[in-house]
Structure 1
Amino acid sequence: MPQSDMTSYVPSTKIERVVQYVKRNSKNAFIIVLVFIVLFALLALIFAVPIAQVIIGFSHKNSCPINHLIPIYLIVAGFATLVLLIIECIKFFYEKSTFWSTLHILSAIFCLGWFIQGSIWIFRAKGNVQYYYPYYESIYCDHTLFDFAFGTLFVSYGFLFGFVGNNCEYKR
């Protein structure tokens, strides 16, 4: 491509715009690459939690007689969160797409409803659960399963309150 055509080239996607920026600012290329590595690691960590929910839910599927729905909560929450994250990544590249925005909203509503239902199941069992005597089936739940479900529930509460707090305007 001749030089005159290169200056008139307008990148069409976000990736192309980033590549053009890196080419123009090659001095900062190391910092930009480092930022991409950190963002990729953060994205991998974000995807790791729902994958762990699915794995722990499946591996302890029959280990919580106090409420057999707690492992199911983890499995469905993990899959639903993965779907939501994948839709969010796709929506990032197709930002003006009504289809992906609608799908994102619907999956977010499902995740919120499932989160509320999981909260009910886990908090009802919290006061009575014991981890040491599996033959007391009416109050037993595997320690790893219950604590992981309880922990991810609180992480979800943190994200929910952070999201709501970040999107509220304070008027004085």
Structure 2
Amino acid sequence: MTTNTISPSYEDPTVVAVDPSSTSSKRQQRIDKAMVYFSSFMFLVQIILAAVFSGIELHYGVDYRYQCPIEPMIPIFLIVHGATKFVWVAMSILAFINARIIYGMMNKAFARHFVLPSLLFQLVFALWFFAWFIAGNVWVFSNKSHVQSTDAANTSTYCQNTLYSAAFGLIISTYIVFGIVAVLTIKRRIVGKKIKEKLPSNPDGNHNKT
């Protein structure tokens, strides 16, 4: 006669159960945050400013394409920078429409398909924009001490004054705009966090809207 022994089962402490609903909820929260960003007034202001800067850069870069022999890359910098911004403006308008109209008013499930591509595009654009912008800084500022615009025959130091001034001014303006946007974004998040902390909470931890 054989007796079966039942061995006690032990749970592996390294195995962590993942709640699918929790994962889905976090993913939905990220999507909602992305939609809030793409549909925000701040994002719309960035689109408008980028469109204005893009037009100015393309105008000066194309019109004065061969008038800066001291550094031929300065007009190319403006052309590429302006063209890159133009592409970003076009894609950002689509993201804004997707977040504000499709997601907000029409079809959330359909709009979610465009969230990840929009975020990836923003990341790629930011990396490329930063790299090219730094290169433009080098081309413009490294020649500031010896550039001149009165003797076109002296090609080793000549750059058309309007072109060089436009490139110089646009770089400085970009720094100023970035600073303003960064300050406003940080301020808005801090204020929003303080407002949430002051709102009364339900027993389940959710804030009541007053």
TM-score (normalised: structure 1)? 0.68
Contact 1:53 1:74 in 2 (8 A): yes
2:131 matched to 1:113? yes
2:53 matched to 1:55? no
Aligned equivalent of 1:148: 166
For structure 1, list consecutive stretches of 5 or more residues without a partner in the other structure: 1-38
Aligned equivalent of 1:122: 140
Aligned-residue offset at 1:165: 2.9
Whole-angstrom CA distance in 2 between matches of 1:127 and 1:133? 16
Radius of gyration: which is bigger? Answer: 2
Aligned equivalent of 1:84: 88
Whole-angstrom CA distance in 2 between matches of 1:163 and 1:48? 16
Greater helix content:
1
Aligned-residue offset at 1:116: 0.9
Name the aligned partner's letter for residue 171 of structure 2: L
Whole-angstrom CA distance in 2 between matches of 1:128 and 1:76? 25
Contact 2:50 2:86 in 1 (8 A): no
Identify which of 53, 71, 77 aligns with 2:75: 71
Q: 1:96-137 deviations in whole A, cap 9, x for unaligned?
A: 411112112211221121111101110001111101001111
Are residues 49 and 68 of structure 1, via their aligned partners in 2, closer, same or farther at CA, if it must alter by over 3 Å?
same
Whole-angstrom CA distance in 2 between matches of 1:46 and 1:112? 14
CA RMSD of superposed structures (Å): 2.4
Q: How many residues align?
A: 131
Name the aligned partner's letter for residue 82 of structure 1: F
Query: What percent identity do the matched residue pairs reach?
Result: 26
Whole-angstrom CA distance in 2 between matches of 1:59 and 1:166? 35
Contact 1:77 1:114 in 2 (8 A): yes
TM-score (normalised: structure 2)? 0.56
